[in-house]
Amino acid sequence: MLTIERLGQRGAGVAQIDGRKVFVPHAIPGDTIRAEIAGDSGRIVDVIAASPDREAPFCPYYGTCGGCAIQGYRETAYREWKRGLVADALARAGVNAAVESLSDAHGEGRRRAAFHARIDSAGQSHVGFMQARSHELVAIDFCPLFAPSLQAAVPAARGIAEELATLRKPLDILVTATLSGLDVDIRGAGALGERDTQNLIAAAERLDLARISDHKHLIVERRPAQLRVGRALVHLPPGAFLQATEKGEATLAALVMEAAANATRIADLFCGIGTFALRLAERAEIVAIDGDMAALDALSQAARGTPTLRPVKTERRDLMRRPLALQELAPFDAVIFDPPRAGAEAQAQALAMSYVPLAIAVSCNSQTFARDAAILVSGGYTPERITPVDQFRQSSHVEIVSIFRREAAKRQRRSFLSG
């Protein structure tokens, strides 16, 4: 028998056996279970005594599908676990800072999903999500976490997979709900021949898709794949990154806008399609920097097409290899950085030596966020507000918005600029 003490960082229950940790997926803190153990992993055989925090999962695929790390965990306990992911990471990094309560940003649900498609020995296609820590596919007919605008995504992905079944290749099919319908980007097919291309064009018509692309290469666009960002209308590049839920994007943007309310010249680093830049340009001078030229072009086009916005200057740059240096940072009174999961260690180090009075960190990884926060704190910044945001419900992923200030930097910056 095992007693589950807590949830780990990936959502598995943690128990102790002879002084070593064992991680048991789908177990709830407070459960007493019988489990099969292999190394440091376990599998529930029977729940002998259920935790008072255990509730019935809401999805019939839970337990096989790897899309959700945890279901059936009482809401208040779940929220504290997710907040704790951020607080614990900061503590381990030596950052003494209060973490606010978890902000629920699921809203209507996910507006984008990445499906896996596999072809069996009989040539039949199957579409769904992978089992956790497995190469086995779980075929699904629906997902209760999807927004209404994404409900047709499963049949759309299935239809695409059927058209390409003769390739006999494992595919990833990214489906995004846009204002003009579903946008599909296929990965893993390789260069497509004329017959497959024509089949996909016909499938787009039959499935009423806005657009299909093959690894960001346009196959057919029946309607522009567009989303509204603030007042701007953005024509999404094929396969573009955007926040998983509409409310998630709005929540992150509201926190950033509030933090930068008094800034007049702002650098938006890792800006993507302009989630923050296009909103901030309503009242501030923005320099938006990213390594993705297609995203920058979409941002620029949207900014130019929105008369109420101030001009947005864009720059293509690999900020991981070449972060903004001291002199480049000096003109800004606020810097926003929203890097991928690897974080922005090099840019945080440059900021730590800069005179920028306000740094706003947005992150999707509590570990790399804590590392970067520790760098800023060591350089003299004070964490003013740290807000965990939950747009990936039932997963171990958490978004974070944090505000770092240092008052002395204002005087140093003025002196540097007048230099």
Measured from the Cβ of residue 120, the count of other Cβ atoms closer than 10 Å reads 11
What would the two tokens of residue 355 be?
């005179």
Specify whether 68 is catalytic.
no
The Cα–Cα gap between 160 and 156 comes to 6
Number of C-alpha atoms within 13 angstroms, CB side, residue 75? 3
Q: Scan for tokens 């596999």, then name that residue.
A: 118
Q: Which residues contact 228 (CB under 8 A, 6 or more apart)?
A: 179, 234
Helix (H, G, I), strand (E, B) or coil at 195: helix
The Cα–Cα gap between 112 and 93 comes to 33
* Residue 295 phi, psi dihedral angles, 5° rounding: -65, -40
Measured from the Cβ of residue 382, the count of other Cβ atoms closer than 10 Å reads 12
CA distances from 306 to 233, 301, 408 (A): 8, 9, 37
Question: Can you state the angle between helices 194-207 and 153-163, rounded to 10 degrees?
Answer: 160
Residues involved in catalysis? 364
